[in-house]
Amino acid sequence: MGASVVAPGCCGGKSALRRVQDRALSFKTTNIFYFANLGKKPAIRRPWTPEECAAIKRQLRRFLIMNITPGKADCEKCLSAEPKALKNRDWKAVKYFVKNRSYELRKK
């Protein structure tokens, strides 16, 4: 009862368990690099200019003082209020700038 009976022409005579094991082994050896390359692209780090820092501090000062991370709407308001200074930044960059800056201030 322990051995599975498979017809000689079906699936090359392999049991279902053996087919799964072969597939898992094949997956580990051949596809690991394929899936490893599907991740996010590495972020390009750009230092914040003094103009960008000043623009964010003007618009989002209350978040920095209260140690609160702004939401998407608040960050987009900041971007629309300071379009020249923050033209190369998106709302997530602004959000994480405020988050990191308030964390720095909290540590001091």
Q: Tell me the average confidence (pLDDT) per consecutive run of 10 residues in the chain, 108 residues long.
A: 53 69 59 58 87 96 94 96 94 95 86
pLDDT for residue 61: 95
pLDDT for residue 3: 55
Query: What count of other Cβ atoms lies within 10 Å of the Cβ of residue 78?
Result: 24
- 26-47 exposure pattern, b = at least 16 Cβ within 10 A, e = fewer: eeeeeeeeeeeeeeeeeeeeee
pTM over 0.75: no
Q: Domain segments of the chain: what residues?
A: 7-39, 50-107
pLDDT for residue 63: 95
pLDDT for residue 42: 80
Which tokens is 43 given? Answer: 């972020």
List the one residue out of 46, 25, 9, 74 whose CA is nearest residue 17.
25
SS3 at position 8: coil
